[in-house]
Amino acid sequence: MPAWKRWLSFAALGTLFVFTAVYADLLLRARTAYLEGEKYLSWNVDPSRKKAHFQKIFERSVAELDAEKAAGRMDETEYRQRVALEEFRRDESVAESSLKYAYHWYKTAVDLFSPPESKWVRLSREKMKTTKALWKAELDAAKIPYEEYMLE
């Protein structure tokens, strides 16, 4: 086989590999974004799961702070301040709208990971509409004023 044919075959295989890798990457990222949206949407249905999730993160952070304090790298005042900060983060995360995050994860799948028009992008596009309507209803119920552009 002449050298130019080998080079052309190698270039074609390399190109095929790159396109396959990019397609797989986009597919997996779209799936991840869709599943994150599903997680936040499920938290809207069952807020106790959301609270348990952020409580677990809080406990892990406090355990790390306990270890630092026990090792002598932090005094009592700093320890109390950092625990209070972790409590604030936990409480704010629990108070955030799960619907807002679900909508934005679905929107991420649609905007950033298409084309290709994968199963995950199609599902995200469908869920985006219903989730946005639920989010608007939540804002209306809380009497929070908004304009359409603010939700994007």
pLDDT tens, position by position, 63-79: 999 999 999 898 999 99
pLDDT tens, position by position, 115-141: 889 999 999 999 999 999 999 999 999
Could you tell me the residue ranges of all domains in the chain?
A: 3-151
d(CA 113, CA 25): 9
Amino acid at 45: V
Q: Which of 133, 43, 140, 131 is closest to 93 using CA atoms?
A: 43
d(CA 152, CA 145): 15
Q: What is the DSSP letter of 151?
A: G
For 44, the token pair is: 């809207």
Whether pTM exceeds 0.75: yes
